[in-house]
A = this chain, B = another copy of it.
Amino acid sequence: MSEKLHCKWNQSGCGVWTTTIGEKPQDNLLSIAGIKPRIKEINKMVDTGFPFGIEVEVKKVRENMVIDFPLDSDEKIYGLGLQFQNINQRNKVYHLKVDHYGENDNGRTHAPCPFYVSSKGYGVFINTTKYVSVYVGSANRKDCSKLAKAKDRNTDQTWTASPSADHIEVALKSEGVEIIIFGGPSILEVVRRYNLFCGGGCLPPKWGLGIWKRVPTLYTDKQVLDVVKEFESKDFPIDVIGLEPGWHSKSYPCTYEWDENRFPQPKVFCEKLKEKDVMINLWENPYVSPDASIYEKLYPLSGSHDVWCGIVPDYTLPEAIKILQNQHQQAHVNIGISGYKIDECDGYDDWLWPNHAEFPSGHTGEEMRQTYGLQLQKLTTEIFKEQDKRTYGLVRASNSGGVSFPYVIYNDCYNFSQYITALINSSFCGVLWVPEVRSAKTAAEWVRRCQLVCFSPMAMVNSWASEIELWTFKEVENIVRDVMKLRKRIIPYLYSAFSRYYFEGIPPFRALVMDSNLINMNSNQNISKLDDTENPYQIAASRDIKDQFIVGDCLMVAPMMPDQEEREVILPEGDWYDFYTGEVVGNGEVIKIKPGLECIPLYVKDGGIIPMVSEKSEKDSDFTLEVRCYGKAEGRYVLYDDDGKTFAYERGEYNHILLTTNKDKKGNIFGNVEIIRNKINSNFKEYEFRFMSL
């Protein structure tokens, strides 16, 4: 009944092996995204051997392609897309499908990336546009070599509903599939190879790292300008205004044309905001209204089924891409629009074409569902790229292959702790995730949400529906303003972190296991040695760490939950310092903190260097960088800079500035600045560096 298939691995880069089993499919995730693996950068990485022997088995079981990977009993598995509740995905089953997150980690998510990374230091990527099921040590084959033992549930307290299996089974309905294996040896190196293979991380424009604000859907041009004025008068920074559906003459489905009543002069409107240095982001969804000027042209290029009575263009077709790109360019980009929020491409269960829908390119509804978010990101990114402008936007669906697209995923989940888990998991699958601020029941919740979003890829205030403004809770207005300003001040640090995402594939926001030596402590084999009283740190580290994450080179964030007054923080080995005071807080231990509402807990590694825009220079032409130096170890930090808005960096026009520090016994800091690469174009304003010991 089943037929074994041969699996021949080809090395396609340093630590990267690929195989195609069965028929080569029409497309895969990378071909749809138009991505070429960045093999040159991968080949700069440390060499590593093929992680499995010949243990990968592939077979065809009737209509199913089944791939079997080995799994050790103490192995942890991370990734498999943007999951919201679990970090170690062992003993789970994921049916990977583009969909909204429905309160369960079951594979239906906004970015169901068919990629996982093992704590043993290797990764597996199933490069397919089909639905994929992954049984992560949860499909117990009766012939498996390390069969779990049956237990008597009547009397045995150790009985479990999920006995652990010694393999990962991947299944899909397909004639053929490409599999890619990434070596490590560390988790971070696996993820870096995966990110670079998928095109490398995106580098947002600098303005994209500022403060975002979305306005009510039916606002007019004048009302939008008033919002900006109000931010100014209240001394809150604002960098990007997002317009919701009402800017369209019709929406759901969309015309992509300005409503003549609400925005009679879009070009003038854009110019007015440009004067204030505020960028404009436009909401859209991909379903084209019969009233859109491009409807007739797109009709024959669209799928068999409508969504909300709008056609669904097949954006794997160059003709269709061109039509939307031209319209967007003329109506939006040429007058100064900076980017898009691409809504509803995740389907939200059944608000989409069916799986069996037909598309003119020959792709099925299933293949289109898995990749529509990629198609839309590619299409819109290209409009800007053609004008040598960077964009930064929001999207509700992505997949592997979207790593290099400058889009951040959002959704309708509003669970604070799941927000953080998603932020951590985003680092295992090459996507960015934003814990948007939408509303709050209390001032404390408002503060905690604002603090969290300021330590995420996009500082997005999307509270137009709740009508809560940043200053609504008077008693915390100053605290909220402080964290918004802090966000603006750390842009040099965040921007450098994103540059490493682009150049080296290092996620700017990421899980602790990627940086620390928690991995070894995480081994299941150690559990028996743990002692809750003598060594609580090991207990904590053996669990998933779902409430702390790393930003950039040396900063650890431990957000407070809205209703939390105190919490535990796990400090990996090495001295850790309080970001605000510079005081040492611990080393390889669990501390309990009670930080007060005014601060989000932030910790810096020994020797950590954090360059910040100085408080004074914020809007000045005299641009001073305050270089915060933490701890006793010698510091070394590479600051990245470029023009902040074009693709000149891809042509080599960027600077690398090496900041090094050491301290004498009295704590006096000796800082050194060395420009190790200086290729920046004339737009560049040189920094003045002011080293500060903390």
Which A positions have Cβ atoms within 8 angstroms of B?
A: 1-2, 61-64, 66, 92-93, 106, 133, 135, 138-143, 147-154, 159, 161-163, 169, 171, 173, 217-218, 245-246, 248-253, 259, 289-291, 299, 302-311, 349-351, 353-358, 362, 364
Contacts and interface: CB of A to CB of B under 8 A. Distances in A.
B309 A154 contact: no
B309 A356 contact: no
9 contacts: A1-B362, A2-B358, A62-B364, A64-B355, A66-B356, A141-B305, A150-B250, A150-B289, A152-B250
Contacts of A290: 150
A154 B354 contact: no
B251 A142 contact: no
Nearest to A312: B142
Nearest to A308: B163
Contacts of A217: 154
Contact of A291 (B141, B150, B356, B358): B150
A263 to B, nearest CB: 12
Contact of A309 (B149, B218, B251, B307): B149
A396 to B, nearest CB: 15
Given A63-B173, A150-B289, 17 more contacts: A1-B358, A61-B358, A61-B364, A64-B355, A64-B356, A92-B350, A93-B349, A138-B350, A139-B357, A140-B306, A141-B304, A142-B304, A149-B309, A150-B290, A151-B309, A153-B251, A154-B259
A305 B173 contact: no
Contacts of A364: 61-64
B309 A133 contact: no
Nearest to A140: B306
A299 B142 CA distance: 9
Which 4 pairs show the lowest CB-CB distances between chains A and B? Answer: A150-B309, A153-B252, A64-B356, A93-B350
A108 to B, nearest CB: 11
A354 B307 CA distance: 32
B61 A309 contact: no
Contact of A306 (B63, B133, B142, B169): B142
Contacts of A151: 252, 309
Contacts of A93: 349-350, 354
Given A251-B154, A310-B150, A364-B62, A142 B356 contact: no
Copies in the complex: 2
A305 B139 contact: yes
A153 B306 contact: no
Main SS at interface, chain A = loop
A364 B159 CA distance: 28
A412 to B, nearest CB: 13
Contacts of A154: 217-218, 245-246, 248, 250-251, 259
Contacts of A356: 61, 64, 66, 133, 169, 171
A91 to B, nearest CB: 10
Nearest to A299: B142
A307 B140 CA distance: 7
- Chain B CB within 10 Å — which of A66, A153, A163, A169 has the most? A153
B171 A251 contact: no
Contacts of A62: 364
Nearest to A360: B1
Contacts of A64: 355-356, 364
A221 B356 CA distance: 56
- Chain B CB within 10 Å — which of A143, A171, A173, A306 has the most? A306
A251 B152 contact: yes
- Chain B CB within 10 Å — which of A147, A149, A150 has the most? A150
Contacts of A306: 140-142, 147
Contacts of A354: 93, 133, 135, 139, 169, 171
Contacts of A169: 354, 356
- Chain B CB within 10 Å — which of A92, A249, A253, A305 has the most? A305
A260 to B, nearest CB: 13
A64 B353 CA distance: 14
A237 to B, nearest CB: 30
Contacts of A358: 1-2, 61
A286 to B, nearest CB: 14
Nearest to A259: B154
Nearest to A60: B356
Contacts of A138: 350
A308 B251 contact: no
- Chain B CB within 10 Å — which of A143, A290, A356 has the most? A356
A650 B304 CA distance: 52
Nearest to A351: B161
Nearest to A292: B150
Given A1-B362, A351-B161, A305 B153 contact: no
A92 B349 CA distance: 11
- Chain B CB within 10 Å — which of A61, A92, A163 has the most? A61
A306 to B, nearest CB: 4
B250 A308 contact: no
A293 B397 CA distance: 52
A160 B688 CA distance: 57
Nearest to A367: B62
A142 B61 contact: no
A302 B141 CA distance: 11
Contacts of A249: 152
Contacts of A308: 150, 161, 163
A316 to B, nearest CB: 13
A518 B299 CA distance: 42
- Chain B CB within 10 Å — which of A149, A289, A290, A358 has the most? A358
A354 B67 CA distance: 13
Contacts of A250: 150, 152, 154
Given A153-B251, A246-B154, A163 B305 contact: no
